Structure 1
Amino acid sequence: METERQHPESINADTAATTCVVFAAGTYFDERPSIPQGAFVVAADGGLDHARALGIHADAVIGDFDSISGPVPEQSGTIRLPEEKDDPDLLSALKVGWAKGARTFHIYGALGGRVDHSIANIQILARLAAHGGIGYLFGDGTVVTAISDGSLAFPAEAATRGAGRMVSVFSHSDRSIDVTERGLKYRLDHATMLNDTVQGVSNEFLTATPAQISVGAGTLVVTFPAEAGLPHVTRRHPFSGDLGALSTAVSHALATPRQ
């Protein structure tokens, strides 16, 4: 572990060349989505309606198009999926962005509305994190992200913008080891967090104090106020693998018997 800490892999969360912005079909709030210069934009099914309403061009459009109100665009970046499949439209959209080289994903329209969709989208964040990517779900003034074997650092000015607002940390893994929270109202040092025990809810940013949330081994789900801005991400070791190829398969376990 010490060797890994001496050679961290640092990621700039706002590097446009590695950023994909995804418009999902869920609830949108008052915040206007921000598109980093040069980012690759993907609309997932009904998310295309939201992108159009905002005057934002989608480089790729993907889905079974069961929730789109306007016409399906006839462009090279349109990918039509069947209605019955294992992968949700959002995961398929992230796979398209990953294939384009993106490792940072800004996702809108994936919180609020149906709670089962919100839970599924948070699980997708954990899958991203496990392969060395990072995703941010934006909604109603809050950002949700996940980090595996690494840390999120907020500079003092960012923490000041979000001072007094809630920062919460949950273990997505069965066990998350060496969890540390510093620069927040309640400090945690080298703790073990479990996914069936609530230990990190309702912490707070402090004024003019840099903050850091880290995990030695495991995956954390972290929520923080949008006004704090995105953190600097550091990985403790390189990651391998990817999100997988686009899939239209229905696994045997999920298949519905035909009469």
Structure 2
Amino acid sequence: MHWVLLANGPLTLSPVIRQVISTAERLIGVDGGSRHLRAMGMLPHLAVGDMDSISEELLQEYRQADVELHLHPPKKDATDLELALELALTRGASRISILGGTGGRLDHTLGNIFLLSRCLPAGIPACIMDQEQCVHLTDQSLTLSGAVGDTLSLLPATPEASGVSLTGLEYPLQDATLTFGTSWGMSNVFVETQATVTLRSGRLFVFHLFRS
């Protein structure tokens, strides 16, 4: 089941974002992220957070529409997005897409990207994306569909990512080792409509930047 989580960061409702939302089997409005759905005339299936970034009017609208509410106090040990992600995981999500989790404060963006690690132990495909890019965290083979001319960058999320091989890209790699803190994996280019990343050990952040 595909769960789409809408966080409160900047988000342009581009065709690619609307397409992702249209494939959702469950939509979670993460606190003020519900505003993105409201702009499309849609209601979430669930709303999660302390609701300090949502109007009382919209909250009342959710109550009247029987939207499932998961309300939390402002002082807590996890962000609203982490709480929403944990809810999706416990409810049987088989795929998770996070929208509105990039841009704005850099600490929030990095923290949100690092939350992808919560999905790895269960083997659940997850990404965080906006209208310009999609970010994955992987410890196994990953195949991405894109357009010729799209950009792909790799950043190790562990001290080393070894056995890294790439296909479908302008600069192929074969059994390479990428180390944390280097930029060797940056700015590769799709030469086919599919690109594959494989690795033997470690973890990689995979950034897929859409051609403008």
Alignment root-mean-square deviation, CA: 1.9
Q: Is the 8 A contact 1:147 1:219 kept in 2?
A: yes
1:127: Cα distance to partner? 2.5
The answer for the alignment partner of 1:56 in structure 2 is: 42
1:132 to 123, 133, 142: 123
Structure 2, unpaired ranges of 5+: none
Distance change (3 Å), C-alpha of 1:76 and 1:29 = closer
Mapping of 1:216-231 within 5 angstroms? 216-226=200-210
User: Are positions 1:153 and 2:140 aligned together?
Assistant: no
| Alpha-carbon distance in structure 2 between the residues aligned to 1:82 and 1:191 | 47
CA distance in 1, matches of 2:132, 2:7: 17
Using structure 1 for the length normalisation, give the TM-score.
0.72
Q: Percent identity?
A: 29
Q: Return the offset for 1:121.
A: 0.9
Summarize the Cα distance change of 1:112–1:76 in structure 2 as closer, same or farther, 3 Å threshold: closer
Q: How many residues align?
A: 203
> Among residues 154, 172, 194, which one is paired with 1:187 in the alignment?
172
How much has 1:42 moved relative to structure 2?
A: 0.7
Equivalent in the alignment of 2:6 = 23
- Cα pair 2:47 2:67 within 8 Å, conserved: no
1:71 to 58, 66, 91: 58
Q: Which amino acid aligns with 1:26?
A: G
What 5-or-longer segments of structure 1 have no aligned partner? Answer: 1-17, 228-259
Structure 2 Cα separation of the partners of residues 110 and 196 of structure 1:
23
What does 1:229-244 align with in structure 2 at a 5 Å threshold?
A: none
Q: Which residue of structure 2 aligns with residue 93 of structure 1?
A: 84
Of structures 1 and 2, the one scoring higher in RCO (CA 8 A, sep 6+) is 1
2:66 matches 1:80? no
Instruction: Deviation per CA, 1:183-228: give whole Å up to 9, x if none.
Output: 21111111222222222000000046x421112222111111347x
1:166 aligned to 2:151? yes
